[in-house]
Amino acid sequence: MSVSGLLPSSQHAALLTVEQMSAVDAAAARAGVPTLDLMENAGRAVARDVMAIHEDRKGLVVVLCGPGNNGGDGFVVARLLRQGGYRVRLACCVDVTVLRGDALVNAHRWQALQEPVVPLTEDCLDGAALVVDAMFGAGLSRPVDGDVLACIRRINDRSIKCIAVDVPSGVAGNSGEILGDAPRCLSTVTFFRPKPAHFLYPAKAYCGALRVADIGLTPQHEAGLLCQTFLNGTAVWALPRPSWSDHKYSRGHVLIFGSAAMSGAARLAMRGARRIGAGLVTAAVPASALAVYGSDAPGALQVPWDSEDDALKALQDAHRTVVVIGPGLPADDETRRLVLMALRQGQRTIVLDAGGLSAFADHPDVLFAAIQSSAGQVVLTPHEGEFKRLFSSLAGSRLDRSRQAAVLSGACVLLKGADTLVARPDGAVVITPQASPYLATAGSGDVLAGFIAGLAAQGMSAFSATAAGAWLHAEVGRQLGPGLIAEDLPECLPTVLRRLLVETTL
């Protein structure tokens, strides 16, 4: 279950694909766990949430059931609510005779209460105070349509409170894409472990509050599964902690190339790298800009960079184990040559952002070949536009594309967004959960590049440093919220680090 290079505790952050979830289900059945009990437990967990949200037993609860086991869960919810004294209307999108297995058993249990099953049309929502969406879960195989689509639209148009069973119907569990449409839910109850869609946009916006319910499945039932998708967080990586024997050289040395024209970008990256704990940060910048770079950063170093010889000299210092190229640099031939030169300089971690990525828009294969033959580790940090320029041949969801991009380039790929993804060439991906929309501001990405570089300088692997950098960036963004500017991000970091490194034992 554990993936190399990640903490063993990452198994608690694992997100199971639809296929893996059904493998867990099958393993439980082989181990003698009755699947009918799992369905009963799933339905009970949802019924409990309905009762917590909707205490008014007189307000009508409409349970919408689909043709599979998600619908089966719905029959359990309806029965438990009815037995709890609630007014319940159950609508099913197929005739009960078409149901099979545990779903059929539970349909019969519902009918044994002398309760009707009404056809699932938009009219069945009339008078609903709350809807339980048990139409489709893990088995969704195509866009929703017909009466199901009409119901979903009515729920959304009338803002009827809705609780989803497993996922809102229409959400593709693995990719987070919306097939047709999906209800905008107040909350979603899923089982055993979350699925990627619960944290990926657009699906996340439909899920509402997420609760993961225990239904009797155990880690034993997932033994042997190779989980490759994780929720980004402190279960996945451990931050470096300086010890009594550390000194500035042992805490790592970051080299950042900066321009005269757009000095702010590299200066923000420098600030990020220093705040996150790099022992030394050096800016390689045009001689004409040395004073600007030094003016607000007396604790940083500057070296002149006016020629390829200067660049080579800066790169050849073996103590500078992490190099950032891109913030504030133009996407031109000179930047391209600089990146290729850096990639040839032996064991380094190289973080490429902004101009360092776009310089290869016409020649991405040249960049990928250089990365593949480099002795170092490489991190690419594109936003969606830069990603499309470099990886124009890739299609599919953001999760699929980030994974394929890491394989194609041989680098760790951080795809920026509200659910920032970090993918490693072996297929491991983390999804960052808590990004603030206020992070969408100039200079924010430059600070992120600095965070990643500063963590890598302290010995974290490229993947862990990138994942941790993205998480910390999101966390400071969340703490600052409205009104944040990029300059605030490094300054807020000590508060977050203190909580992680001083006030808790990771």
Ligand X SMILES: NC(=O)C1=CN([C@@H]2O[C@H](COP(=O)(O)OP(=O)(O)OC[C@H]3O[C@@H](n4cnc5c(N)ncnc54)[C@H](OP(=O)(O)O)[C@@H]3O)[C@@H](O)[C@H]2O)[C@@H](O)CC1
Cα of 231 vs its chain's centroid, Å: 6
Could you give the residue ranges of the DSSP H alpha helices within 360-397? 364-372, 384-390
- Segment interacting with ligand X (CB under 6 A) among 18-26, 386-394, 457-465, 495-503: 18-26
Rounded to a whole number of angstroms, the minimum distance from the CB of residue 57 to ligand X is 25
Q: Going by C-beta distance under 8 Å and a sequence separation of 6 or more, which residues neighbour residue 219?
A: 1, 11
Provide DSSP, 257-292. E--STTHHHHHHHHHHHHHTT-SEEEEEE-GGGHHH
- Using CB under 6 A as the binding rule, whether residue 166 contacts ligand X is answered as yes
- Using CB under 5 A as the binding rule, whether residue 133 contacts K ion is answered as yes
Collapse the DSSP code of 449 into the 3-class scheme (helix H, G, I; strand E, B; otherwise coil) and give the result: helix
Rounded to a whole number of angstroms, the minimum distance from the CB of residue 56 to K ion is 23
Closer by beta carbon to K ion, 165 or else 411 = 165
Closer by beta carbon to ligand X, 41 or else 402 = 41
For residues 90 to 129, the per-residue mask of contacts with ligand X, x marking binding by CB under 6 A and - elsewhere, is: ----------------------------------------
CA–CA gap between residue 270 and residue 490 (Å, rounded): 10
Q: Confirm or deny that 137 is annotated as ligand binding.
A: yes
- Using CB under 6 A as the binding rule, whether residue 74 contacts ligand X is answered as no
Q: Going by C-beta distance under 8 Å and a sequence separation of 6 or more, which residues neighbour residue 465?
A: 349, 379, 452, 453, 455, 456
CA–CA gap between residue 61 and residue 89 (Å, rounded): 6
- Using CB under 6 A as the binding rule, whether residue 147 contacts ligand X is answered as no
Closest listed residue to residue 237, CA positions, set 60, 466, 419, 421: 466
Closer by beta carbon to ligand X, 191 or else 463 = 191
Q: Which does 133 bind (CB under 5 to 8 A by kind): K ion, ligand X, none?
A: K ion
Rounded to a whole number of angstroms, the minimum distance from the CB of residue 184 to K ion is 13
Q: Confirm or deny that 68 is annotated as ligand binding.
A: no
Q: Confirm or deny that 139 is annotated as ligand binding.
A: yes
Closer by beta carbon to ligand X, 117 or else 470 = 117
- Using CB under 6 A as the binding rule, whether residue 71 contacts ligand X is answered as yes
Q: Confirm or deny that 419 is annotated as ligand binding.
A: yes
- Segment interacting with K ion (CB under 5 A) among 105-113, 117-125, 134-142, 453-461: 134-142
Q: Confirm or deny that 445 is annotated as ligand binding.
A: yes
- Using CB under 5 A as the binding rule, whether residue 169 contacts K ion is answered as yes
Q: Going by C-beta distance under 8 Å and a sequence separation of 6 or more, which residues neighbour residue 378?
A: 343, 349, 350, 351, 352, 371, 409, 410, 411, 412, 462
CA–CA gap between residue 206 and residue 397 (Å, rounded): 17
Closer by beta carbon to K ion, 208 or else 445 = 208
CA–CA gap between residue 458 and residue 454 (Å, rounded): 7
- Segment interacting with K ion (CB under 5 A) among 133-141, 193-201, 318-326, 448-456: 133-141
Location of structure tokens 């000179």: 334
Q: Confirm or deny that 483 is annotated as ligand binding.
A: no
Q: Confirm or deny that 225 is annotated as ligand binding.
A: no
List 413's β-bridge partners, or say none. 380, 423
Closer by beta carbon to ligand X, 214 or else 362 = 214
Of the residues 17, 49, 73, 80, which one makes contact with ligand X according to CB under 6 A: 73
Q: How do 280-285 and 301-304 pair as beta strands?
A: parallel
Rounded to a whole number of angstroms, the minimum distance from the CB of residue 320 to K ion is 52
Q: Is the peptide bond before 202 cis (omega within 30 degrees of 0)?
A: yes
Q: Confirm or deny that 232 is annotated as ligand binding.
A: no
Of the residues 5, 59, 139, 304, which one makes contact with ligand X according to CB under 6 A: 139
Q: Confirm or deny that 383 is annotated as ligand binding.
A: yes
- Segment interacting with ligand X (CB under 6 A) among 62-70, 193-201, 292-300, 301-309: 62-70
Locate 99 and state its tokens: 């149901």
Q: Confirm or deny that 446 is annotated as ligand binding.
A: yes
Closer by beta carbon to ligand X, 72 or else 490 = 72
Span 181-210, contacts to ligand X by CB under 6 A: 191
Location of structure tokens 């980030």: 402
What is the 3-class SS of 344-361, one letter each residue? CCCCCEEEECCHHHHCCC
Q: Confirm or deny that 295 is annotated as ligand binding.
A: no
Q: Confirm or deny that 133 is annotated as ligand binding.
A: yes
Could you give the residue ranges of the DSSP H alpha helices within 54-170? 69-83, 101-111, 146-157
Rounded to a whole number of angstroms, the minimum distance from the CB of residue 486 to ligand X is 42
CA–CA gap between residue 449 and residue 300 (Å, rounded): 17
187 phi, psi to nearest 5 deg: -155, 165
- Using CB under 5 A as the binding rule, whether residue 11 contacts K ion is answered as no
Of the residues 3, 10, 13, 25, which one makes contact with ligand X according to CB under 6 A: 25
What is the helix (H) or strand (E) element at residue 35, kind and residue range?
helix 35-53
Beta-carbon-side half-sphere exposure of residue 147 (alpha carbons within 13 Å): 16
Of the residues 138, 449, 452, 453, which one makes contact with ligand X according to CB under 6 A: 138
Q: Confirm or deny that 420 is annotated as ligand binding.
A: yes
What is the helix (H) or strand (E) element at residue 470, kind and residue range?
helix 462-480
Rounded to a whole number of angstroms, the minimum distance from the CB of residue 192 to ligand X is 7
Enumerate binding residues for ligand X (CB under 6 A).
21-22, 25, 38-39, 42, 66-73, 136-144, 165-166, 191, 215
Residues making up the annotated binding site are 69-73, 133, 137-143, 166, 169, 265, 328, 383, 416-420, 445-446
* List of residues contacting K ion (CB under 5 A): 133, 137, 164-165, 169
Annotated binding site for K(+): 70, 133, 169
